[in-house]
Amino acid sequence: MKKITFAALLLLSFFGFSQSGSELWLSYTKIENSDHRTQLAAAINAIVLASDSERSQLAAQELQQALESLLDKKIPILQQAQPIPGSIFLNIKSNDTALGKDGFIILRKEGKQRIEAFNDLGLLYGVFAFARELQEIGAAPFEKREIPKVRYRMLNHWDNANGTVERGYAGASLWKWFELPYRLDPRYEQYARANAAIGINAVSLNNVNASSRFLTAEYLEKIKALADLFRPYGIQVFISVNFRSPRTLGGLTTSDPLDPDVRQWWKEKTAEIHRYIPDFGGFLVKANSEGEPGPQDYGRTHAEGANMLAAALENYPGIVIWRAFVYKADPNGDRFKEAYEQFKPLDGQFDEKVIVQVKNGPIDFMPREPFHPMFGAFKKTALAVEFQITQEYLGHSTHWVYLAPMFKECLDADTYATGKGATVGKVIDGSVYPTPISLMAGVANTGSDANFTGHPMAQSNWYAFGRLAWDHTLSAAQLAKEWTAISLSQKKEVIQKISSLMLNSHATYVNYTYPLGLHHMMGEGHHFGPQPWLDKSQRPDWTSTYYHRAAASGIGFDRTGKMSNALALYAPEVQNTWKDPQQCDLNYLLWFHHLPWDYPLSTGRMLWEELMHRYYQGVEEVEQMRLAWAQLEEEIEEETFNNVAARLQIQKREALWWRDSGYLYFKTFSNMPLPEGLTPPTRSLEEVKALEKIYHLR
């Protein structure tokens, strides 16, 4: 076996940040500032490990690898109970139970650097935090004590058994089912390390549009191989289940959750799963949603369905994650209200092993949504928030959109459930209403591409999601800086420039796609590019016109008391911020109001003018991003630089497509000219329509 030696790997890292991006935020690029580096190297002589568990060893080795790369110095690991001068002391502090399973302390005491935890997983998290700060600030980190706010920090993979990824834009699935259980792709471990480094401790492996295949013995053996590999990194595995499995796999005539045979089947299946995976995380379920089977097929409620699975798990620590993404087709209804209305009567009926997973907004991962009205409204049900890291509606893998500002907009939104300050983040972490379970989920943006995420900058969204799941009070700006410093450049001014581009990118995307609170106007099915003219579909709420309601009279969805009154689902304080179109944040205006084209806005422009200005501004901002990035050519590793530069060209082209579609289509209703100073498109409405049609061609 010809081993590539560790020294050889080090030679690679010498040349700077990872070329392919395959190391994610773990490239541990040598500290360029030689003063900092030599000072640190002189100060650190050993890693002293006072624990002998497998995971503690892993933590020590991770620290060793990080220091060796960062400081260009081989640091020995000593296994002993006491620190020595110049050592970093990794210690299990068995009396500090408040740290829990995941918490850690980094501190200097009596001139010795210590990383301490109650549990060896906390030690691993502490090591990653230590290495991260070392890179970010170029010096040993400040003292800190960290305990995650949320118990389950989770990625949901929408990966299919056939290797495709639903709404995945970075190649095929990471999971090579046909190679498992025997072959473990080396990328699995890189994935696990990267997750552990940001605190992610739970993953569901398969699409919520679930195949029963994953519950067969054949596939449980494969899943076990992944669970075994992930375990040292503190990651628990979940399975998305198809509610009809008792019929398709068990040969039963029903999947009624109250049927004794069905309940017994799930009990036995759950026991079988635990024979493969003793620390199995639990089930994730999309039921009675978009054609998926569920308890309502048998006249039962979501609570009855979820509780049946909870009963199957009663002798195990695992949980049931039940998605609230449900909506029936009603041309006269408002999809905005569906999940709330279906679930509200069930508040208090769910087993304590059940958590209801709610998307951040009431529709479906639109680039900007008001926070979901369920948050704050459920006092007796644990609610999880589900974000989408993969950019289904946010430019797939060709648009640079840093999502942390969007995540934060939701997490920091005040529900006023218990008065001022009852933010969504606090609802989720159980500090508004105490809950036995807390969970934050993100739909993964990972795939088989060498850099895992397709767009190099999309790595930052995975990163920021994980860090926010750990601590939702972190700021989008801090996370942008952090990620850039460990992924792209050590130069302060470069970090500043890039994180500033990141922070503006979401607002820019919204400007050229869905300004002023427009939503759901993407190409049907493929969700690529604009199709605001879509007025016929299998379901009324899959069209665009259902949402924007453009007419000669104006544009927008009236959700005040005059029409759907979805606003009434929110606390009065929230209603007050949105109900008056004169006061409403312009970013949410057309989410709640149908207004005439000439409606005067606080900006001094009428609605039509403001809409057009924002479209044009979005495109202009992309051009500015492109120019700003071009300035960084000397600063960024070549392949990454070129990759982002090329994608910005595509983004520009597609931003123009959105802008021109918006203008050409909406002016057929407004009959108004483009405001002065804006140059009309050189193409026709038919031409932009034809571009979208391409994606329906067989």
Catalytic residues: 290, 364, 392
Residue 160 half-sphere exposure, CB side, CA atoms within 13 Å? 10
Q: Are 586 and 516 in contact (CB under 8 A)?
A: yes
> Do residues 223 and 239 make contact, with C-beta atoms less than 8 angstroms apart?
yes
Torsion of CA 405, 411, 412, 418, to 10 degrees: 170
Q: Which stretch binds a second copy (CB under 8 A): 193-201, 380-388, 552-560, 638-646?
A: 638-646
Rounded to a whole number, what is the distance in angstroms from the first to the last CA of the chain?
Answer: 49
| Given 449, 558, 609, 610, the residue binding a second copy (CB under 8 A) | 449
The correct pick among 248, 349, 418, 496 for binding a second copy (CB under 8 A) is 248
Instruction: By CB under 8 A, tell whether 316 contacts a second copy.
Output: no
Stretch that binds a second copy, among 275-283, 447-455, 660-668, 678-686 (CB under 8 A): 447-455
Nearest approach in angstroms of CB 165 to a second copy is 9
Residues 6+ apart with CB under 8 A from 604: none
| Strand pairing class (202-204; 236-241) | parallel
Residues 192-221 that bind a second copy (CB under 8 A): 211-213, 216, 218-219
For position 580 contacting a second copy by CB under 8 A, the verdict is no
Q: Please answer whether residues 364 and 329 qualify as being in contact, where contact means their C-beta atoms are separated by less than 8 angstroms.
A: no
The answer to whether residue 190 forms part of the interface with a second copy (CB under 8 A) is no
The CB-based long-range contact list for 564-567 (8 Å cut-off, 24+ gap) reads: 564/333, 564/334, 564/336, 564/337, 566/334, 566/336, 566/337, 566/362, 566/373, 566/592, 567/592
Identify which of residues 32 and 330 has a Cβ nearer to a second copy in the complex. Answer: 32
Q: What single letter denotes the amino acid at residue 151?
A: R
| Helix ranges restricted to H, 456-533 | 459-470, 476-487, 492-513
Smallest gap, in angstroms, from Cβ of residue 183 to a second copy?
3
Of the candidate spans 180-188, 373-381, 474-482, 543-551, the one that interacts with a second copy by CB under 8 A turns out to be: 180-188
Q: To the nearest whole angstrom, how small is the minimum distance from the Cβ of residue 291 to a second copy?
A: 11
Q: Which of 25, 89, 128, 169 touches a second copy by CB under 8 A? A: 169
How many C-beta atoms surround the C-beta of residue 622 within 10 A? 26
Nearer to a second copy, 509 or 528 (CB): 528
CB of 562 or CB of 698, closer to a second copy: 698
CB 213 within 8 A of CB 161: yes
Residue 536 lies near a second copy (rule: CB under 8 A): no
Choose which of 229, 450, 563, 685 interacts with a second copy (CB under 8 A). Answer: 450
Q: Tell me the residue length of the chain.
A: 698
| Minimum separation from the CB atom of position 187 to a second copy (A) | 9
Structure tokens at 120: 């060896």
**Taking CB under 8 A as the rule, does residue 695 contact a second copy?**
yes
**Binding status of residue 617 toward a second copy by CB under 8 A:** no
User: In degrees to the nearest 10, what's the CA dihedral of 68, 70, 73, 74?
Assistant: -10
Distances (CA, A) of 90 to 197, 319, 333, 429: 17, 32, 58, 29
642 C-beta neighbours (distance < 10 Å), count = 12
Interaction of residue 1 with a second copy, rule CB under 8 A? yes
Distance CA 207, CA 679 (A): 44
The piece of 67-75, 86-94, 569-577, 630-638 that touches a second copy (CB under 8 A) is: 630-638
Instruction: Pick the binder of a second copy from 178, 379, 551, 576 (CB under 8 A).
Output: 178
User: Which one of residues 35, 634, 676, 686 is an interface residue with a second copy (CB under 8 A)?
Assistant: 634
- Per CB under 8 A, the segment of 365-373, 377-385, 513-521, 642-650 that binds a second copy is 642-650
CB of 460 to a second copy, least distance (A): 19
- Lay out the site mask for a second copy across 4-33 (x = CB under 8 A, - = otherwise): xx--x--xx--xxx-x--------------
Q: Which stretch binds a second copy (CB under 8 A): 67-75, 301-309, 391-399, 550-558?
A: 391-399
Quick one: tokens of 203? 């993953």
Beta carbon nearer to a second copy, 179 or 314: 179
Of 82, 97, 631, 649, which one interacts with a second copy (CB under 8 A)? 649
Q: Rounded distance, CA 232 to CA 175, Å?
A: 19
Q: Kindly tell me which residue out of 172, 311, 477, 571 binds a second copy, with binding defined by CB under 8 A.
A: 172
The correct pick among 137, 271, 627, 694 for binding a second copy (CB under 8 A) is: 694
Q: Which of the residues 325 through 384 are near a second copy (CB under 8 A)?
A: none
- HSE of 230 in the Cβ direction (CA atoms, 13 Å)? 28
DSSP helix/strand/coil, 530: strand
Cβ at position 646, least distance to a second copy in Å = 3
Alpha helices in 344-423 (DSSP H): 404-411
Q: Does 543 bind a second copy (CB under 8 A)?
A: no
Q: Give the integer Cα–Cα distance in Å for 257 and 306.
A: 9
Task: Based on the shown chain and the rule CB under 8 A, indicate whether residue 109 belongs to the binding site for a second copy.
Answer: no
Taking the complex as a whole, the smallest distance from the CB of residue 413 to a second copy amounts, in Å, to 32
- 383-388 and 439-443 strand pairing: parallel
Alpha-carbon distance 308 to 295, whole Å? Answer: 10
C-alpha to C-alpha distance for 696 and 446, rounded to whole angstroms: 25
Determine if 681 is a binding residue for a second copy (CB under 8 A).
Answer: no
Beta-strand runs (E) in 425-464: 439-443
**What's the token pair of residue 355?**
């958590």
With binding defined as CB under 8 A, does residue 229 bind a second copy? no
| CA atoms of 453 and 677, how far apart (whole Å) | 39
Q: Please report, as ranges, the residues that interact with a second copy according to CB under 8 A.
A: 1-5, 8, 11-12, 15-17, 19, 163-164, 169, 171-172, 178-179, 182-184, 186, 211-213, 216, 218-219, 242, 248-249, 396-398, 447-450, 528, 633-634, 636-639, 641-643, 646-647, 649-650, 691, 694-695, 697-698
